Structure 1
Amino acid sequence: MMGFMPTEETRTHESTTVRAQTRPDTPKTRGAGPRAWTTRLLVAGIVLAALNLRPAITSLGALLEEVRDGFGMSGSVAGLLTSVPPLCFAVFGVTAPRLARRFGTGAVVCAGMAAIATGLLVRPFTGGTAGFLTATALALMGIAVSNVLMPVVVKRHFPDRVGAMTGLYSMALALGTAAAAAVTVPLTDAVGGDWRSGLALWAALAVAAVLPWLPFVRERDAAPAERAPGERARGEAPGRAEASAAPAAAPALRITRSRTAWALAVFFGLQATVAYITMGWMPQIFRDAGVPADTAGLLLAVIMVMGVPLAFVIPRLAARLPHQGPIVLVVGASGLAGYAGLYFAPAAGAWAWVLLLGIANCAFPLALTLVGMRAGTGAGVAQLSAFAQSAGYLISIPGPLLVGVLYQHSGGWGLPIALMAGLMVPQTIVGVLAGRARTVEEEAAH
């Protein structure tokens, strides 16, 4: 860029940047363009927050047998426990935007990290199933609001580095998910084999995540209308400020009239169902097949860690295709093959099956990519994302509970694995429908 002659657009951008730096009421002074040390602190906060968005779930999956024995849980109650995450995400996630407008995004994320720390520290020592569920719900409430607001933080503070920061955030989330699955059992062994201490140790990571958010607690979000006329965000091209403001004034889409929106919501819900069944039950499936507990946790970690590289590859590949159906088919076929192997030879081919299931688990980044591609405006993306995720998480709630019921009443994993494999069929069908090259605005207008 520095090797080019300065164009009129470049000079305009530079003059706008100077005005933004000197005007006392610009977003820069409110924190939208933090200084270098603040930027580093914010990056650390984003990474630490992302690391904490899944250990509450996958650490429990690694020690689910010990938790069940410790509290005397039936298979059905354990299934209810594994259904709590999507329920909390559906219920509490929708409150995040309103809380952020009222208290500020930084304050809500900081409170979310504190809720995670408190829930993880308290839940192993509650003394009963009801208390364990309540403390787990507290931690998941913090995860829900933080999960929704992380993209908002990235968009607001790094408008010219959204892709890079989203990639960093996604990688940290996948690493936290995998680490909790892989090291919870070894950590438990290191503290004398006490599963309560092994679970509570993850509260320390959440406490660490609170600290970088403390300086942002008093920060308040700026509404788009507060931007001065003609002013644009850092890195925003001329004319984009006006274009980005337009969708806010546009009437709300009748999103429920879009077949693509419904297909995407069901696709999101089915992939979430499989994901939470995997996080909650997969280590137990391997342990019941004779795999040692630490190896079972590591196998789950492999499924989750595959999301690190594939989360970068799949969105870029999807953006280059006119129809994302072929990717959906590969994801679905990998899931069917993985579950078939898990059914017939769970221990003998365990490492092969988790590689296939790791590919199938990447339906999540594909679903997020489709949300951005199936809407033509910023307002449309926001509406489609809210609809697909809220409806999807509601759809996913019964799955883990049903697995627990089937496991308890059938006495084995044959029926639950058959259910997981069966879910891949409708997931693939609706995914192909959601991958068609059309927008929800076009469909909702008819």
Structure 2
Amino acid sequence: MKPTEARTPSAQGPLPPAPRAWAVRLVVVGIVLSALNLRPAITSLGALLEEVRDGLGMSGSVAGLLTSVPPLCFAVFGVTAPRLARRFGAGAVVCAGMVAITTGLLVRPYTGSTPGFLAASALALMGIAVSNVLMPVIVKRWFPDRVGSMTGLYSMALALGTSAAAAVTVPLTDALGGGWQSGLAVWAALAGAAVLPWIPLVRDKGPGSAVGSVHARVEGAGPVQHVHARVEPTALRITRSRTAWALAVFFGLQATAAYITMGWMAQIFRDAGVPAGTAGVLLAVTMVMGVPLAFVIPRVATRLPHQGPIVLALGVCGLAGYAGLYLAPAAGAWVWAVLLGVSNCAFPLALTMVGMRARTGAGVAQLSAFAQSTGYLISIPGPLLVGVLYQHSGGWGLPIALMIGLMIPQMAVGVLAGRDRTVEDEAAAATP
């Protein structure tokens, strides 16, 4: 007997057919390859920043500002993702995003000037920004009954791409002849591979597209529903939702901690007497912790009615890690690196909550854009402020105190964002 078919609220006309198995597999491959490409543009540059500065004659102030360019681009360009997805389809926008990443990574090492390098970097970051926002949307649309496991897979691939680019860029550069240009450009090949799975999904234009619909059981919906991959328009006023604001601030504070860790943790260890090579390995350990935990945490989160306990557990790990850096940075370096790596897994938790705090695909799109764009704006001053405090105080006491201070509100807003409610209900209740 066939299961009863129910329309989604936005469905019009005949129900679209279920997608073919090959289309679902392509989406999974596309999600994984896209996630692998969402950070190498940043971490590969960090590994060769000194060589890039020397090669382009880049000033120290401009190089310092590079640490704030990624979150700025994520905030500015990410907010455009829902509108683009409504017009062209989420798959087409992600495909274009991967093309932008490929082009930017391929061009920027050979521009020969600082403005050209920054412009090409911005192109790549623009592609990353729209893909950042639309990944939770695609997961919600294609896998509504597996949000936790698919978000975990995506987050794990993102963490793997982040740590791999940091770890192997220098060896790859040496293997390719020692030129920093080739060491940066090689990552365009991985981005180019991520374009391919999305090409068959570019034609997803309307409710009748077989590729653009999903035949899956939605959690709590009872009968099987068709969910279309294109983001439909909505009248949701996201700024009227307290949960949306809590999630945006939580996203911003966890991003602040992550960028401070990536930018400064190795220097903290080096100033404490840890050899430079070991300090780099410690940073890699922190980043690698996200690979297994990014798969586990979202799966656990979707099984809980309230994600607050996970937020608190990650926050306690962060507080313990920062306290260790303050009291005995060298003596317990490996422990602090592991603890901070666990704490940084607030990122996949935030992505999971984006998928859980909205009922519809359109709601997820708006919430994802709002939380990430607002959050990345919040994160911009953090790494710069740590550098200023370090320079003016002559030590790491004040910067670490700042990190500890920011962890407290991160835990508080994370608990609020983890409550079992949806932004659609809150926005409707706030409408006069």
TM-score clears 0.5: yes
* Percentage identity across paired residues of the two chains: 78
CA positional deviation for 1:406: 3.7
Give the Cα separation in 2 of the matches to 1:152 and 1:438.
18
CA contact (8 A) 1:52 1:206 kept: yes
Encode CA deviations 1:255-298: one digit per residue, 9 max, x unaligned: 43443332222111111111122233434444555555554443
User: Which residue does the alignment assign to 1:12?
Assistant: 2
CA positional deviation for 1:363: 1.2
Moved more, 197-206 or 155-164: 155-164
CA positional deviation for 1:360: 1.0
Give the Cα separation in 2 of the matches to 1:347 and 1:272.
25
Q: Residue 246 of structure 2 is aligned with which of 263, 268, 289? A: 263
Question: Which SS does the other structure have where 1:172 is aligned?
Answer: helix
Give the Cα separation in 2 of the matches to 1:153 and 1:378.
8
CA contact (8 A) 1:287 1:296 kept: yes
Unaligned segments of structure 2, at least 5 residues: 7-13
Opposite residue 12 of structure 1, the aligned amino acid is: K
Q: Residue 20 of structure 2 is aligned with which of 34, 38, 43? A: 34
User: Which residue does the alignment assign to 1:352?
Assistant: 335
Opposite residue 265 of structure 1, the aligned amino acid is: A
User: Which residue does the alignment assign to 1:117?
Assistant: 102
Encode CA deviations 1:328-380: one digit per residue, 9 max, x unaligned: 22222211221232344444433211101011101112223333444566665
> Within the alignment, does 1:177 sit opposite 2:138 as a pair?
no
For residues 296 and 122 of structure 1, do their structure 2 counterparts lie closer, same or farther at Cα, with a shift above 3 Å needed? Answer: farther
> Within the alignment, does 1:202 sit opposite 2:187 as a pair?
yes
Moved more, 287-296 or 39-48: 287-296
Unaligned segments of structure 1, at least 5 residues: 1-10, 18-24
For residues 209 and 295 of structure 1, do their structure 2 counterparts lie closer, same or farther at Cα, with a shift above 3 Å needed? Answer: farther
CA contact (8 A) 2:72 2:376 kept: yes
Question: Which SS does the other structure have where 1:53 is aligned?
Answer: coil
Q: Residue 327 of structure 1 is aligned with which of 304, 310, 335? A: 310
Give the Cα separation in 2 of the matches to 1:48 and 1:248.
25
Opposite residue 33 of structure 1, the aligned amino acid is: P
Instruction: Note the 1:26-65 alignment, pairs <5 A.
Output: 27-28=16-17, 33-36=19-22, 38-65=23-50
Q: Residue 371 of structure 2 is aligned with which of 381, 384, 388? A: 388
CA contact (8 A) 1:185 1:294 kept: no
Give the Cα separation in 2 of the matches to 1:265 and 1:235.
29
CA positional deviation for 1:68: 4.2
Q: Residue 123 of structure 2 is aligned with which of 138, 152, 158? A: 138
CA positional deviation for 1:390: 2.3
Q: Residue 212 of structure 1 is aligned with which of 187, 190, 197? A: 197
> Within the alignment, does 1:90 sit opposite 2:71 as a pair?
no
Give the Cα separation in 1 of the matches to 2:344 and 2:26.
31
Aligned residues between the structures? 415
> Within the alignment, does 1:221 sit opposite 2:205 as a pair?
yes
Question: Which SS does the other structure have where 1:234 is aligned?
Answer: strand
CA contact (8 A) 1:116 1:206 kept: yes
Q: Residue 402 of structure 1 is aligned with which of 372, 385, 397? A: 385
Give the Cα separation in 2 of the matches to 1:243 and 1:220.
13
Opposite residue 119 of structure 1, the aligned amino acid is: G
Opposite residue 222 of structure 1, the aligned amino acid is: G
Question: Which SS does the other structure have where 2:215 is aligned?
Answer: coil
CA contact (8 A) 1:75 1:407 kept: no
Give the Cα separation in 2 of the matches to 1:213 and 1:378.
19
Question: Which SS does the other structure have where 2:216 is aligned?
Answer: coil
For residues 48 and 274 of structure 1, do their structure 2 counterparts lie closer, same or farther at Cα, with a shift above 3 Å needed? Answer: same
CA positional deviation for 1:300: 2.7
CA contact (8 A) 2:363 2:424 kept: yes
CA contact (8 A) 1:76 1:401 kept: no
Opposite residue 235 of structure 1, the aligned amino acid is: A
CA contact (8 A) 2:173 2:182 kept: yes
> Within the alignment, does 1:416 sit opposite 2:402 as a pair?
no
Encode CA deviations 1:171-230: one digit per residue, 9 max, x unaligned: 21121112112222322333344433322222221122223333444x12334xx599xx
For residues 76 and 349 of structure 1, do their structure 2 counterparts lie closer, same or farther at Cα, with a shift above 3 Å needed? Answer: farther
For residues 417 and 152 of structure 1, do their structure 2 counterparts lie closer, same or farther at Cα, with a shift above 3 Å needed? Answer: same
Give the Cα separation in 2 of the matches to 1:106 and 1:381.
15
Give the Cα separation in 2 of the matches to 1:214 and 1:249.
24
Give the Cα separation in 2 of the matches to 1:158 and 1:257.
28
Give the Cα separation in 2 of the matches to 1:161 and 1:373.
11
Opposite residue 247 of structure 2, the aligned amino acid is: L
Opposite residue 173 of structure 1, the aligned amino acid is: L
Give the Cα separation in 1 of the matches to 2:108 and 2:269.
25
CA contact (8 A) 2:149 2:295 kept: no
**RMSD of the alignment, in Å?**
3.6
User: Which structure has the highest helix share of the two?
Assistant: 1
For residues 154 and 371 of structure 1, do their structure 2 counterparts lie closer, same or farther at Cα, with a shift above 3 Å needed? Answer: closer
CA contact (8 A) 1:304 1:358 kept: yes
